[in-house]
Amino acid sequence: MRVSNLYKNSKKPVISMEFFPPRDAKASDNFGAIIDKLSELKPDYMSVTFGAGGSNRDGSYQTVKKIIDKKLPIVAYIAGLGLGHNEITEILDRYKEIGVETIFVIRGDKPRDDNYTPHPESFSYASEMIAFIKKRYDFSLGCAGYPEGHIEAESLEKDIEFLKLKEKNGAEYVIAQYCYDNNYFFKYVEKCRAAGISIPIIPGIMPVYTVKMTKMLSKVCGTTITDELQNKLDKLADADKNEVLNLGIDFAVEQCRGLLKNGVDGLHFYTMNRSKSTSEIINRLRRENLL
Ligand SMILES: Cc1cc2nc3c(=O)[nH]c(=O)nc-3n(C[C@H](O)[C@H](O)[C@H](O)COP(=O)(O)OP(=O)(O)OC[C@H]3O[C@@H](n4cnc5c(N)ncnc54)[C@H](O)[C@@H]3O)c2cc1C
């Protein structure tokens, strides 16, 4: 399944769901049930992240394979920072062998390991790896974009310049980092279009799963927790986990309504390997005939 064709040809917004390789045996046992539950919603594709520096590359491969074995459309990620060219081609050859047709290419971040030594051939930026892959393979390629700017970026404008380079080098669609205010996404798309970027840009949806996780991830990802969301979270200081999940679902449904009404090409759910929030959000949007 070439994702670029999906975004080009689908008459409805394309629904995608992102997973990471389960971290231990217990999580691995539960993972099959999570995939089964979410596949009932018939997403257009599922995707699997890749550990920075190649850590747990086999975990990513096995997770991709597990989803392919269930006959579900898949996108495999590769994060190139730290890897040599041969390592990259070995990983991609294995994906090609099992029928993967779309690769999402990201740079990745340096692991927090003092003994970490990147391969001397390691690419510094995703755009370079996209060019490398494009020359050697016929995969459909995706890349990441940052509506609030990437945390290391000199400016949003510079970041968009580098996104344009990813398109020039072969990226065919963009999945955006999540934000909690749609205006960041809409303005970003406007600026990308003004800069000449023409490939689909898909908003990422990160429901609130727990207050602690929301704060931690937003710091790492450079996502603003808006005053509106912060006020809601403050009111849940003593709430149980279901109340927090329900707040996350309500907030994400409202956010998706705004995105869909503005004609986005798809919604990309960061599931964090959980099924309840993503299912509930999609079911509610479908009941409202928005999907
Ligand atoms: C949808 C999504 C999925 C992700 N999945 C994963 C995953 O599976 N595994 C993982 O490890 N991480 C993942 N990440 C995180 C990502 O790896 C980090 O955000 C990383 O820091 C940047 O990756 P990138 O591909 O956007 O990098 P790049 O596009 O290379 O950009 C990195 C920084 O360098 C700057 N830059 C780019 N090109 C140049 C240039 N030529 N000269 C100077 N500066 C430049 C950019 O402005 C930016 O600040 C994901 C992010 C998103 C949004």
**Average pLDDT for 165-172:** 98
End-to-end Cα distance, the chain? 21
Confidence check: pLDDT of 113 > 80: no
* Residue 10, both tokens: 């689908």
Mean model confidence pLDDT for the chain: 95
Reported pTM: 0.97
Structural domain harbouring 76:
3-287
* Residue 250, both tokens: 């309500």
CATH number of 230's domain = 3.20.20.220
**Average pLDDT for 153-182:** 98
Instruction: Give the whole-angstrom CA distance, residue 261 versus residue 89.
Output: 41
The confidence score (pLDDT) of residue 56 equals: 84
Confidence check: pLDDT of 112 > 80: no
Number of domains in the chain: 1
Is the CB of residue 127 below 6 angstroms from any atom belonging to ligand 1?
A: yes
Q: Is 92 within 8 Å of 103 (Cβ atoms)?
A: yes
* Residue 193, both tokens: 């279009």
Rounded to the nearest angstrom, the distance between the alpha carbon of 234 and the centre of ligand 1 is 31
Q: Is 174 within 8 Å of 144 (Cβ atoms)?
A: yes
pLDDT band at residue 262 under the 50/70/90 scheme: very high
Is the CB of residue 106 below 6 angstroms from any atom belonging to ligand 1?
A: yes
Beta-sheet pairing, 45-48 with 102-106: unpaired
**Average pLDDT for 173-187:** 98
Q: What amino acid positions are annotated as catalytic residues?
A: 18
Map the chain to HEC letters: CCHHHHHHHCCCCEEEEEECCCCCHHHHHHHHHHHHHHHCCCCCEEEECCCHHHCCHHHHHHHHHHHHHCCCCEEEEEECCCCCHHHHHHHHHHHHHCCCCEEEEECCCCCCCCCCCCCCCCCCCHHHHHHHHHHHCCCEEEEEECCCCCCCCCCHHHHHHHHHHHHHHCCCEEEECCCCCHHHHHHHHHHHHHCCCCCCEECEECCCCCHHHHHHHHHHHCCCCCHHHHHHHHHCCCCCHHHHHHHHHHHHHHHHHHHHHCCCCEEEEECCCCCHHHHHHHHHHHHCCCC
Map 162-223 to HEC letters: HHHHHHHHCCCEEEECCCCCHHHHHHHHHHHHHCCCCCCEECEECCCCCHHHHHHHHHHHCC
The confidence score (pLDDT) of residue 253 equals: 98
Q: Which protein residue has the closest C-alpha to ligand 1 atom 15?
A: 108
The confidence score (pLDDT) of residue 232 equals: 93
The confidence score (pLDDT) of residue 111 equals: 77
Q: Which protein residue has the closest C-alpha to ligand 1 atom 16?
A: 108
Is the CB of residue 157 below 6 angstroms from any atom belonging to ligand 1?
A: no
Between 114 and 27, the higher pLDDT residue:
27
The confidence score (pLDDT) of residue 55 equals: 76
Is the CB of residue 63 below 6 angstroms from any atom belonging to ligand 1?
A: no
Ligand 1 atom closest to the Cα of residue 108 is: 17
The string of pLDDT tens digits covering residues 22-72 is 998 899 989 999 999 999 999 999 999 998 777 788 999 999 999 999 999
Q: Which protein residue has the closest C-alpha to ligand 1 atom 14?
A: 108
